[in-house]
Structure 1
Amino acid sequence: MKEFEDRFSELQADMISICMEYVEDRADKVYVYASREEGVTSSSFFYLINNKYVERHKLNDALENGDKRYDVSTERQFMVLDIINDNVDKIEELCKLYEKNMPTELKLIYDVKSGNFKAEYKYELVYTHDEIKTARYIANEWFEEIKNNNL
């Protein structure tokens, strides 16, 4: 049992780690959204920087005078998303191996200053049964919720 939890934690830590690398360790909080429903893997990530909530392609909107600009190239964004998605696949393999339910949704929050890590999981279908909502829609909805409630 401990081995399952350790591996599960490592894979989540890797998702946070690659997001920290993307932001060059210059963020106050990191938010990772990942989902796996009916064979479809999707992910997203965003940040709290200088008291501003910013999506990964808008990091430079949070800069203050004299701050070094972020490299938000599409290639770098896709590199991070590929690694997150790869980790989601590994979590699924791990869950199968240990006969555990695979979460359909993972919401990870890492507070850089305090070192606090928070994770929320869902196990029911979130969007595949919905005619309108997609994984992207759900991820954007979470970004707006976090931004509006300063979480």
Structure 2
Amino acid sequence: MKEFEDRFSELQSDMISICLKYVEDRADKVYVYASREEGVISSKFFYLINNKYVKPHKVNDALENGDERYDVSTERGFMVLDILNENIGKIKVLCKEYERDMPTELKLIYDAKSGKFQAEYKYDLVYTNDDIKTARHIANEWFEEIKNNNL
């Protein structure tokens, strides 16, 4: 029992740490959206930096004068997404190995100042049964919700 929890936590920690690495550990909060539905794997990530909610390609917009700029190259962004998606695959394998239900959606929030970690899981289909919405829509809605409510 303990081993499943430990390995599950480890994979989530890895997802947070690759996102932190992207901003050289310079973020107040990290948000990771991960989903796997009907074989579709998707992930997104964004940040709270200097009281501004920003998507990865916009992190430099949150910097104060004199702050060292982030490298927001497309390659780096895709590298993070590749690792996130790889970890979603590993979570799937882990859940199968321990005969657990695989979450269809994971919303991870890491507060870098306090070290507090929050995770929300869904097990129902979120978008594959929707005619219009995709994982990207859901991730963007979450970004807007977080931004508008300052969560």
Q: Which runs of 5 or more residues in structure 1 are unaligned?
A: none
Structure 1 residue aligned with 2:48:
48
Hey, what's the Cα distance between the residues in 2 that align with 1:46 and 1:72?
13
Distance 1:61 1:144 in 2: 17
What is the deviation of 1:62? Answer: 0.1
The answer as to 2:129 corresponding to 1:129 is yes
Query: What is residue 64 of structure 1 aligned with on the other side?
Result: 64
CA distance in 2, matches of 1:131, 1:68: 43
Partner amino acid, structure 1, of 2:101? N
Residue segments in structure 2 that go unaligned for 5+ positions in a row: none
How far apart in 2 are the matches of 1:94 and 1:25? 28
TM-score by length of 2: 1.00
RMSD over aligned Cα, in angstroms? Answer: 0.3
What SS class does the counterpart of residue 79 from structure 1 fall into?
helix
Instruction: State the AA in 2 paired with 1:99.
Output: E
- 3-state SS, counterpart of residue 69 of structure 1: coil
CA deviation after TM superposition for structure 1 residue 64, in Å: 0.5
Cα shift at 1:75: 0.3
**Alignment-derived partner of residue 92 in structure 2:** 92
Equivalent residue, structure 1, for 2:14? 14
Q: Work out the CA distance in 2 between the residues paired with 1:87 and 1:60.
A: 27
Q: Distance in 2 between matches of 1:97 and 1:145?
A: 35
Aligned-pair identity (%)? 83
Equivalent position of 1:83 in the other structure: 83
